[in-house]
Each structure stands twice: as structure tokens, then as C-alpha cells.
């Protein structure tokens, strides 16, 4: 594997290899010393054209824990604001000797362009492109589910909310289908993308009827910034095309304590963050013992370590030696 652009690029074996590798690397997160020498001398560039908190920090932590050099490039305050093109930015990165470029871009397809352009030799990792894909988020979600539920074959996952604007939903549907899970997208008709019938999942408008038979409920953020309304204004009354108002949205599609009580005992509550507390998820649900939202963040680092490791360390599966080496260094 040279690039990770789409969750659909991974066949079942490749997806499981990433998850198993992450499992080995996850151990590190619980240790006082969290570093491995694996990518020493390699350079990872985080190229972020769109705001991000957890994804950028997560990739940075992942690269650093593998001892890579990390360059953070954010479009704000860079020459991109002066109109520098993706191509010129890429040529600059190439000149700096980047081994991997982790790219988040507001334009769907930008990472693909970068990978197929011939402008750079490095591996490209899609860290979220427009409303298209976010493959490492899907991997960390699957990783988190697997830790709690075991193999995902036949597991029922409901992905709820603003599917239309969600790259997380698309990548999750692709990956979860590969891993054998049954996915249902739950959203108002206005927030389902055109062509969703061809996705490898079911759709529903009725959250309440699904909850009792769901193993995982993944809530999506209502992406106000991608809905045409005046900046800073409430998306409710001014977004008649999507839903009547915030209260009505929550009433139909929000996860609150009453709805959570309808879930089976073992079911997980997930959210990729950032959350609109009180909108798609109530604060008590977000902070409840069913919620694995904080754990998703921790697991994200291990999954991104696995991805960088597999892309840059020659695709050799991580052996148990990866971790004992760390132990030897700690003891030395």
C-alpha cells in the first residue's frame, strides 16, 4: 500500500492488518514512555487546509511516537492564503523531502489529486477531504468497535444524522461493509446524499425502531458550516431546506437518555467529534458509561501509527518485536 485515500482501497485482509497492527501499537498508549524508534529519520508533513483539532493532533502524536520528524503546515498564515496552488505547495513539500503527506482539504478529491499528480513521491494519507472521505476515522471507529464487540461480522451499526455532509459516514460504510457489519444510515431525507441507494448499507428515517437491535450507534455532527446560512446564525430557522429547527432535529434524530435506554445493554455510543452537545447528542449521553467517545480519540493515535508504519516501513506487519524493543529501551 503506497497511499491511503479511501476506506474502499482496503480489502478485508488489509483492513484487518491495519487493525491488528494498531492493536499491538495501542499498548504503548498505556505506558509512561510512548515512543518507538521505527520511523526515525523519516519526515511526515501534516498539510491542513481546513480546521481540525483532534485529527491533526492525533497524526502529530502518531508520527512522533514512531520517532518521525513532523512538519505541521496549516493553510492559515501560509502562502496558500496568498493564492499558492496545491501544486506549488506540493512541490515545496517534495523539496523538503517529505516521506508522507497527511492532507486535509476542503475540496473533495484533493488527496487523490496529490497522490496521482506525479508532483510528489511521498505517500499520501487522506485526513478528510470535503464531504468525501476520512478513512483513518473509519479505521479508528472500527478499531474501537472491535475492542468492545470482537469481530464485526453481522454486527449492527446505526450511523445517525448529517450523512449528507459527512466524510466520516461514507468512509465508515465502505470499511464496515468490508468487515461484514450491517450498517443503517438514519437521517432526515434532506440529509441523505443523492445516490445513497447504491451504498452498501440500508437507510431509515426512524431512529426509535432501530435502537433496540443496534450494537453501535454512531452520532454525526450537524455540520452547520457546510449548510448555506449566514455565518454565526442559528442553522434552524435559516436552514429550511435541511430541517425545521434545532429543537425539532433533536426531537427526531438526537440521542438523549431516553433513547439510550432503548439500546441493548452492550451497545456502544460513538461520535467522531467535535460534538454539538444538546443537538445530535445530549450531554448526559456523551458523558455516560456507554459512550466510547474519548476512547475513540486515544485509539485514533494507535490507528494512525499503524497506517504510517505500514505505509512507510515497507508494509511489513508489525511483529511482537515492535513492542518488546520499546521495553528493552525502557529497561536500558
Give the shortest CB-196-to-ligand NCD separation in angstroms: 18
Dist. CA 283–CA 276, nearest whole Å:
9
- Residues numbered 108-137 forming contacts with ligand NCD, rule: CB under 6 A: 128, 134, 137
Interface mask toward ligand NCD for 262-291; x: CB under 6 A? ----------xx------------------
- Residues assigned a catalytic role: 54-55, 82, 104, 134
Give the shortest CB-273-to-ligand NCD separation in angstroms: 5
Give the shortest CB-141-to-ligand NCD separation in angstroms: 10
* Segments of 220-317 assigned E as strands: 268-270
Rule CB under 6 A: say whether 56 interacts with ligand NCD: no
Rule CB under 6 A: say whether 64 interacts with ligand NCD: no
Interface mask toward ligand NCD for 212-241; x: CB under 6 A? ---------x-x------------------
Q: Which is nearer to ligand NCD, 25 or 127 (CB)?
A: 127
Q: Which is nearer to ligand NCD, 121 or 226 (CB)?
A: 226
Q: Which is nearer to ligand NCD, 161 or 236 (CB)?
A: 161
Give the shortest CB-220-to-ligand NCD separation in angstroms: 7
Under 8 Å between Cβ of 307 and 125: yes
Buried b (16+ CB within 10 A) or exposed e, 173-205: bbbbbbbebbbbbbbbeebbeeebeebebebee
Within 8 A by CB and 6+ apart from 305, the residues are 22, 25, 28, 62, 65, 66
Q: Total binding residues for ligand NCD by CB under 6 A?
A: 11
Rule CB under 6 A: say whether 54 interacts with ligand NCD: yes
CA atoms within 13 A on the CB side of 316: 8
Under 8 Å between Cβ of 55 and 104: yes
- Would you call the peptide bond into 247 cis, given omega within 30 degrees of 0 as the criterion? no
Dist. CA 300–CA 180, nearest whole Å:
21
Q: Which is nearer to ligand NCD, 24 or 254 (CB)?
A: 254
Give the shortest CB-171-to-ligand NCD separation in angstroms: 9
Element (H, E) at 236: helix 235-238
Rule CB under 6 A: say whether 55 interacts with ligand NCD: yes
Residue 9 CB neighbour total at 10 angstroms: 17
- Residues numbered 180-199 forming contacts with ligand NCD, rule: CB under 6 A: none
Dump the DSSP string for 206-217. -HHHHGGG-SEE
Binding footprint of ligand NCD on the chain (CB under 6 A): 54-55, 128, 134, 137, 167-168, 221, 223, 272-273
Amino acid at each position: 500500500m503506497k497511499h491511503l485515500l479511501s476506506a474502499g482501497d482496503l480489502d478485508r485482509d488489509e483492513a484487518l492488518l491495519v487493525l491488528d497492527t494498531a492493536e499491538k501499537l495501542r499498548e504503548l498508549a498505556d505506558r509512561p514512555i510512548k515512543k518507538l524508534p521505527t520511523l526515525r529519520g523519516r519526515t511526515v508533513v501534516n498539510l491542513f487546509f481546513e480546521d481540525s483539532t483532534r485529527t491533526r493532533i492525533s497524526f502529530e502524536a502518531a508520527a512522533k511516537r514512531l520517532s518521525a520528524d513532523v512538519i505541521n503546515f496549516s493553510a492559515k498564515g501560509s502562502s496558500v492564503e496568498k493564492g499558492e496552488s496545491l501544486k506549488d505547495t506540493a512541490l515545496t513539500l517534495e523539496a523538503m523531502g517529505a516521506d508522507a503527506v497527511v492532507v486535509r482539504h476542503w475540496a473533495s478529491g484533493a488527496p487523490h489529486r496529490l497522490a496521482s499528480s506525479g508532483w510528489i513521491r511521498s505517500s499520501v494519507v487522506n485526513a478528510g477531504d470535503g464531504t468525501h472521505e476520512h478513512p483513518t476515522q473509519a479505521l479508528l471507529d472500527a478499531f474501537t468497535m472491535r475492542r468492545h464487540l470482537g469481530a464485526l461480522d453481522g454486527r449492527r451499526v446505526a450511523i445517525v444524522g448529517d450523512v449528507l455532509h459527512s466524510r466520516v459516514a461514507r468512509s465508515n460504510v465502505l470499511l464496515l461493509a468490508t468487515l461484514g457489519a450491517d450498517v443503517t444510515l438514519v437521517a432526515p431525507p434532506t440529509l441523505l446524499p443523492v445516490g445513497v441507494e447504491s451504498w452498501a448499507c440500508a437507510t431509515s428515517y426512524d431512529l426509535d425502531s432501530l435502537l433496540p437491535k443496534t450494537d453501535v450507534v454512531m452520532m454525526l455532527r450537524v455540520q452547520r458550516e457546510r449548510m448555506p446560512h449566514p455565518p454565526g446564525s442559528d442553522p434552524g430557522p435559516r436552514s429550511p431546506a435541511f430541517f425545521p429547527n434545532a429543537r425539532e432535529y433533536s426531537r427526531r434524530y438526537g440521542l438523549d437518555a431516553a433513547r439510550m435506554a432503548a439500546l441493548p445493554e452492550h451497545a456502544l455510543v460513538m461520535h467522531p467529534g467535535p460534538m454539538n452537545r444538546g443537538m445530535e447528542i445530549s450531554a448526559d449521553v456523551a458523558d455516560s458509561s456507554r459512550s466510547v467517545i474519548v476512547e475513540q480519540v486515544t485509539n485514533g493515535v494507535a490507528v494512525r501509527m499503524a497506517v504510517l508504519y505500514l505505509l512507510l516501513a515497507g508494509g511489513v506487519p508489525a511483529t511482537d518485536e515492535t513492542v518488546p524493543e520499546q521495553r528493552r529501551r525502557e529497561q536500558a
